[in-house]
Structure formats: C-alpha cells, structure tokens
Structure 1
Amino acid sequence: MLDFHKELEDFRGEKSLILGNGFGIAYDAAAGTHSFRWDSLAELCNFDADSPLLLLLEQCYYDFELAHQKINNAINVSEHYDEGRQFSGVMSSEVQVLRSELISAITNSHPPSLGRRCTVEEKKFIAARVSRCRKFLKEFKRVFSLNYDLLLYWVRCYDNDFLGKDCFKSNGDLLAFVEDENANFFFPHGALFINRRGVDAEKSRSSTEIPILARVKQNIREGRFPMCVSEGTGEQKLAAIRDNNYLNFAYQKIEQSRGVIFTFGASFMEGKDDHIIEAMIKSPAKKIVVGEFEPTEADRLRLLHSFQSISEKIGRRKEIVVANTSRTEIW
C-alpha cells in the first residue's frame, strides 16, 4: 500500500488538498476529544423518528435553511386561511424547535475550546496543534473542505493570525463574497459560518468577545441559517452548488487544479460525492492521491472503482492511487 506522507514529500510541483470528515477525526485523535465523528448535523439532533420536522428535513436533503424557509412560507400562506391561527401557531413552534435543535447539534459537534476562552495549559496545547496543522496546510496551493464544521475556519483565523485567503471581503458589517483568483481556501459544500445572500454568500465575523461558535449560534437564533450542501446524491449536490455563485466558484477551482490533487479523510461513499470526483478528473491535474486511514485491499478496490467509474462516464483518464494516511500527523 502506498504511503500518503511519502507521496506528499516526493512530489515537488503544485499540490491541492481536499479535506473530508477525517480531518476532524484526526483532530479528535490528537486532542482526545470525540467531537467530529459525524456525517450530518441531523444525526446530532434529538428528533423523534416519526417527527414531521424530520420528514421535512429529509425532503430538503437536510438543508436546515431550506426547511426553515418552507415553514415560514407555510405560515405566511396559512395566515390568509387559518382563522383560528392554530396551524400557524404549530408552525411557529416548529421554527423554534428547528433553531434550537440545530444550535444543540452545533454545540455537541465542536470542542468547548472553540467557543470559550481557554486556560493557559489548554492554550499551549491547542497552539501546538494549530501550528502543526498550519505547517501541513502550507504544503498546498489550494485547500478545499467538504466539511460543514468550524475546524478549518478556527485553524485559519487562530489568534487573529490569518492563514491564506478566502473569497470574502469586508463590506460594512458583513464579509461578502468577492471572486478572488488569489484565494486558496474554499468550501464548495458551504459551512456553518457561511450564509446565503441571494445567489451569493456572506461569511460570519468572529472576535475575541464573540468567538465563531457563539456567532453561528447567534445567527441561527436570529433566523440566519448556515448554507450547507448536505445529504443527497452527487447530482443533487451539484445542482445546489450551481445555484449559488460562491459555491460554484469554489467548485470550479477544483476543476482548475494542476499538478497533484490529494484527498484526506474523504470516504467517497455511496455516490454522495461523485461530483467532487468528477471535478478532480476533469481538472488538468496529472494525478489524484486518495488518502485513506489504514485502508484494506477492499477499501482500495472500492475507491479505485468509484473513481474509474466516473472516469469512464465522462471519457477522461487520470492516474489514481490510494495511499495510507496513518503516518501523516497533521495535528
């Protein structure tokens, strides 16, 4: 089995990185936490199995913002027909449940240190982890995260020492999306700190007084939901990406990647990220190194089959290898 760390060291040209949930799991392993072992925020919510709200979320592919919008639309329409306002009252209660469950899920999906001031010992430990991670990230010209959590944001902005650039510029009290060809951090599936702004996007500000975790919770309480392209097939995710200028811009940067594309901690299971595979294969990159933690031969064959199937579908050939990430200490 090829070694991810050696593949990274041996190649001297332009490198891009696509991060999956394994990025957070690796942090858990280094920090002794259990915060990032989840695939969907809905997993962390306390909905009953037969809850109409859960069914609505399923229909919206677990897009909390879309579900919130649909409930508000139902309230607006019902006010013209619901004389006793019983239905609109129920719907208003569901809005509050949706908000509170999402806030609870976000709280449970991040270490407490992301949302409060740390002790001196905690700060020393975290600073060492962040420093190591930044050293790893600097190996790459572009970094793409498929995750919705706050971990990469936190690493980039730690202690107000900003690493790299994204596509968000100050516009009054907002950080608005502006196309930037020099940006090197992208979130093609959105994230908890990115909000929809029509067909564009805006990013949440954080500060010492209001850390990013607290800011995201505040946004949700005020009805501003994060933009996250969550469940569904690769085709459904791609359609959602194409509908937003920021997401589409981020996705196109994968298609423009050169040299070697490395993936770390992305499972590419059940066709949910076929659109990401397709973007990599369409790119001018000469090779794709798919990083997997301690892969078995069955894992290697599954991943190669997923990539080769897309390659045959679109008529593009690319060198694709699977490499073991167990020796790659990024935290």
Structure 2
Amino acid sequence: MTNKLLCGGKSLNLKSWDDVEIGSKSDLLLGNGFSVNIDRDFSYTKLLSIASEKYTDEEKRMFQKFNTVNFEDILYNYKISAIVSKIYGQLGFKSDLVKSEKKVRSSLIRTVQSIHTPYSDINRLDILDKINKEFKKYKRIFTTNYDLIPYWAIMEDRKKFVDYFWNSGSYFDEFETDISSTKIAIYYLHGGLHIFEDDGDTYKIISKGKALLEKVYSEIENGGMPLFISEGESSYKLSKIKSSDYLMFCLRKLRNSENDVVVFGHSFAETFDQHIIDALKSGKKKVIAISIFPFIDDIEDVTARIKGMLPKHKVVFFDSTTHPLGSSDLTPYIYD
C-alpha cells in the first residue's frame, strides 16, 4: 500500500512500511524522532535551554564562549579555572567558580529529571515490551539518542541483547567484543545517560526500571558525568567520538556494516549529522530505508536531499506512522 500525500501542490508517494523490500537481517538506526514519538517533550534542544534558565550571565557565557552545549566540557573548564585561580591567589574568584561548577552539575540532574519520560509512564500499556519485540527483528541496533528508552526496552529480554559492558564493573573493553551470532548488539553512537567514563574507561550503570534514573542522578552528584553528546555541530560530535574508545568502536561498527539499514527518526541534517551520513555512505551497496514523517513541509525537497547524500545506495522512503516504532500505541500520553 502506498500513501499519497499532497506536497507543495504535487502528489508524493511514500511507501507503507509493509511494502518496503529490505533484507531480513537488517540493521536499525534510531534517531531522536523515535523518542519524540513516545514523548514530545523529549527534544535535545530542551536540555540546555531548561538548565540555563537560572544561570547567571557569566554561567551562560561559559557555554557561549567555549562554543559548546556539552556539560562535560564546561564542568571540566570550571575545575581547571578553579585550580588556576588558586595558584594565582585569587581565592574569592576560585570560590565563585566552584559554586558555579556545582550549580551547573546539579542543574543537569534537575533538567534530566524534568524532561526524561518516567519509567512508570513508559512501562504502562506494554510499551517497552512492544519496542523489545520490534528490536528483535533486526540484526543490530544503533542509536544516537541519549535517553534510557532503548536500554529499558532491551532489559525486557536482556538475554537476547548485548551492549559490550559485560566485564567486571560493567566496563567496556575494546579487546573483548566477540559476540554470538544469535545475539543482537546495541550501539550507543552518542553515548547515553547510563554510560559514564572514569579516567578514559567507559562503564554503564546497572539497575532495573525507575531505579536506574536514581542511580544516574547519584553518580552525577558524586562527581561523575554521563558520556553523551546531546547537541552541537557534526565536526564537534566527531571530535568527541574520537576521544572515546567506546564511541569510536560504535561508529566503526556502523561504518563497516554490510547489512541493509532501516533508519527511523533521523533528520539527516548535514550540519549536525554529517558523521552519521559519512558512516552510512561507506561499505558495499545496500538498501537504506528511511522513515519520513508525512506531515512535514517540503517532503520532496527533503527526500531529494537525502538521496543526494547517499548516491551509492538504494534509498527508499516510507511513512513513519506506518512503522511499529512510529505507532501512536507507543506513547503513554494524549496530545491535543
């Protein structure tokens, strides 16, 4: 079945998901649209905008002057600045820096609390079980989202999924990454709220359900910072990825994949996603099936632009609302 839409006065055909012909063992690449379908408030742009509402002008300028929206960068710069201030005897200034560092850190916790979908909400109506069953249809899962929804979903049947954090202390070891062909691997391309770094080593927080978020907050309060890239230009994201053995491992897996790919919830904006686009460009010719939300403006321009980015591959587009991951059954909320 094909959905015929009106776009700029022209008719545009988007395939229904059931009509997409793709390999039986394809990869799945999730973008922010997956999470937004579940909770509309789950947008990256809200993280810093909400957190900064109570910042002083100086604290806001820290993000502006360092040209970043990454909390880890700012907290690191506060620490270094405080050390330098102490060395030069500027103890009053050092006190201000320490106070701001604590404020920015605690604001991150409050912001995540305010925007992250509660486990109790998403666990209603068998939503996580539905996502889990859909994930099982794929060979591998890649996600650029930092939220806990994919993690909660795979925990519904964790024996089937692996995330490479199986070593002592739940640490990642790039030299121990062999998995059984019967397992489905998940790769957090931009990190996640439950993933942390300690002196260059990457580990994950382990817990079930709502207790996981509480453990994340506790880890942040104790000085840890989640390894996640929430915003920024693609070149910045790539530099952060290259600084992490785990993130670079995930990106290489996407680059080297020879499987067909289903892309759900990605905008393919060159400014922010070029490193993902470049990864998809590589490898042998494949089918890349890309979801399109049918009510956006200029669909024809969007599809033409994306096809131009991936000239080697067979690119097909489908109506995101016809895919199980785009179903209205996955949201616990009622919107006007």
Q: Report the TM range for the smaller structure's normalisation.
A: 0.7 to 0.9
Q: Distance in 2 between matches of 1:50 and 1:299?
A: 41
Partner residue of 1:67? 74
Question: Deviation string for 1:26-67 (max 9, x for gaps)?
Answer: 223xxxxx4424445213314358722223234252211121
Which 5+ residue runs of structure 1 have no aligned equivalent? 29-33
Report the CA distance between 1:106 and its aligned residue.
Answer: 0.5
TM-score normalised per structure 2: 0.83
Q: 2:313 aligns with which of 294, 306, 318?
A: 318
- Which segment is superposed worse, 264-273 or 214-223? 264-273
Report the CA distance between 1:123 and its aligned residue.
Answer: 8.8
Q: 1:145 aligns with which of 139, 143, 146?
A: 143
Question: Deviation string for 1:191-226 (max 9, x for gaps)?
Answer: 111112344411112247x71110110111111011
Report the CA distance between 1:136 and its aligned residue.
Answer: 1.0
Where 1:280 maps in the other structure, the secondary structure is helix
Question: Deviation string for 1:269-297 (max 9, x for gaps)?
Answer: 35200110110111335121111221557
Partner residue of 1:31? none
Report the CA distance between 1:3 and its aligned residue.
Answer: 2.6
State whether residues 25 and 137 of structure 2, in contact with CA within 8 Å, keep that contact through their aligned partners in structure 1: no
State whether residues 21 and 147 of structure 1, in contact with CA within 8 Å, keep that contact through their aligned partners in structure 2: yes
Where 2:147 maps in the other structure, the secondary structure is coil
Q: Distance in 2 between matches of 1:237 and 1:263?
A: 19
Question: Deviation string for 1:67-86 (max 9, x for gaps)?
Answer: 11110111111111135x11
Report the CA distance between 1:234 and its aligned residue.
Answer: 1.6
Q: Distance in 1 between matches of 2:83 and 2:324?
A: 52
Q: Distance in 2 between matches of 1:20 and 1:51?
A: 33
Q: Percent identity?
A: 24
Partner residue of 1:169? 166
Alignment CA distance shift 1:255-1:45 (3 Å):
same
Question: Deviation string for 1:273-325 (max 9, x for gaps)?
Answer: 011011011133512111122155723422431452x44xxxx6222222211
Partner residue of 1:15? 26
- Which segment is superposed worse, 68-77 or 222-231? 222-231
Alignment CA distance shift 1:108-1:306 (3 Å):
same
Question: Deviation string for 1:145-202 (max 9, x for gaps)?
Answer: 11111111111124x745410111231xx21012324361001111111112344411
TM-score normalised per structure 1: 0.84
Question: Deviation string for 1:99-122 (max 9, x for gaps)?
Answer: 12101111012223x2xxx5xxx7
Q: Distance in 2 between matches of 1:110 and 1:251?
A: 25
Partner residue of 1:125? 124
Report 1:70-81 matches (<5 A).
Answer: 70-81=77-88
